[in-house]
C-alpha cells in the first residue's frame, strides 16, 4: 500500500492505494501549515479510524503546488512511516514528452493530470481541472505536452466579487435555475457559473480550431467540474479521481 498525496492551493487530498485499488481518500486544509508531528498524526489517525492497517504502507508520492507545506509534510512521512516519498517534479519518469519552452515551469498538478489523462483516455486530449484556478492542458496523440491555458477558477472569481465589491455578499456557489436572475444572490451565481460555462466552451472551441483537431477528447476533473461539466457538451468525460489516479500511475512508473 502507498500514500498518494495531492497538495493543492485549497486542500490536501490523500489517497491510499493497495496496488491499483483506491481504498480511501480524505482531505486536509492546505492553507493552514501544520508541524511535522501534526501532519504525521493526521496521516496515521484518520486511516486508523477507518480500519486501515498502516503497517502495510510501503511508499508515498507527493504532488504539490504549495511549497510552504512541503517540508513539514515530507518530514512527517519520513518520521512516522520511515518512508522517503517520491516528489513529482523534474527528473521523475512520466511517459510524457514535455515540449514547452521551459519544462521546469510546468506545475506538478498539471503534469499529474496530463499523465493520468493520457494513460486513461489517450490523445489528442484536453485536460481541464476546475480547481482554485481552471487549467486547460493539451496532450498530442504522441504524448507531447506543450500547451497550457490558465484562467481564474470559480471560487477565485467569487472571492473577488464579495471582497472587492462592498455591497455584494458572500454566497453559496451553485448553478441557479435560470440565467435570468431577479435578485443579488442568484445574479452573482448566474454570472459565476454561466460565465465559467461560456468561457469553457469558447476555450475548447479555440483549441480545436487552432490545433486543427476534429478528434480531440476532452476530460474534466476538479471539485467545480461536477457543476460545470454537465453543462458543457464539448466535455466527453468527468473524472473526479483523475489526479489521484495520476499519482498512482506515476508511483508505478517510478518504483518498478
Distance from C-alpha of 83 to C-alpha of 97, rounded to nearest angstrom: 29
**How far is the C-alpha of 219 from the C-alpha of 125, rounded, in Å?**
7
Q: Are 116 and 145 in contact (CB under 8 A)?
A: no
C-alpha cell of 147?
500547451
Q: How many whole angstroms separate alpha carbon 221 and alpha carbon 131? A: 8
Phi, psi at residue 74, to the nearest 5°?
-60, -45
CB-CB contact of 11 with 25 (8 Å): no
The three cell numbers locating residue 248: 498512482
Find all residues with CB under 8 Å of 120, minimum gap 6, and list them.
Answer: 219, 239, 242, 245
Residue of 6, 109, 129, 239 with catalytic role: 109
Strands (E), the chain: 2-7, 11-18, 21-29, 59-64, 86-87, 97-98, 125-130, 133-139, 144-152, 217-221, 237-238
> Is residue 109 flagged as an active site residue?
yes
Taking residue 240's Cβ as centre, other Cβ atoms within 10 Å add up to 15
Q: Which three cell numbers stand for residue 163?
A: 471582497
Round to whole Å and give the CA distance between 197 and 228. Answer: 6
Pair 1, 17: CB distance under 8 Å: yes
Task: Give the residue numbers marked as catalytic.
Answer: 109
Amino acid at each position: 500500500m502507498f500514500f498518494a498525496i495531492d497538495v493543492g492551493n485549497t486542500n490536501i487530498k490523500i489517497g491510499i492505494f493497495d496496488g491499483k485499488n483506491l481504498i480511501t481518500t480524505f482531505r486536509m486544509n492546505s492553507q493552514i501549515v501544520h508541524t511535522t508531528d501534526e501532519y504525521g498524526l493526521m496521516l496515521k489517525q484518520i486511516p486508523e479510524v477507518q480500519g486501515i492497517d498502516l503497517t502495510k504502507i510501503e511508499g508515498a508520492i507527493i504532488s504539490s503546488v504549495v511549497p510552504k507545506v512541503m517540508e513539514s509534510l515530507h518530514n512527517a512521512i519520513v518520521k512516522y512511516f520511515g518512508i522517503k516519498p517520491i516528489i513529482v517534479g523534474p527528473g521523475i519518469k512520466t511517459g510524457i514528452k514535455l515540449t514547452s519552452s521551459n519544462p521546469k515551469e510546468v506545475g506538478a498538478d498539471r503534469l499529474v493530470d496530463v499523465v493520468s489523462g493520457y494513460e486513461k483516455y489517450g490523445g489528442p486530449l484536453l485536460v481541464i481541472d476546475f480547481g482554485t484556478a481552471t487549467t486547460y492542458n493539451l496532450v498530442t496523440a504522441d504524448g507531447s505536452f506543450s500547451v497550457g491555458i490558465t484562467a481564474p477558477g470559480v471560487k477565485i472569481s467569487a472571492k473577488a466579487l464579495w471582497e472587492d465589491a462592498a455591497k455584494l455578499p458572500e454566497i453559496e456557489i451553485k448553478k441557479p435555475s435560470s440565467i435570468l436572475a431577479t435578485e443579488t444572490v442568484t445574479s452573482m451565481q448566474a454570472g459565476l457559473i454561466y460565465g465559467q460555462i461560456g468561457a469553457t466552451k469558447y476555450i475548447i472551441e479555440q483549441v480545436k480550431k487552432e490545433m486543427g483537431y476534429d478528434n480531440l477528447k476532452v476530460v474534466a476533473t476538479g471539485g467545480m467540474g461536477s457543476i460545470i461539466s454537465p453543462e458543457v457538451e464539448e466535455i466527453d468525460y468527468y473524472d473526479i479521481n483523475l489526479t489521484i489516479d495520476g499519482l498512482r500511475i506515476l508511483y508505478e512508473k517510478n518504483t518498478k
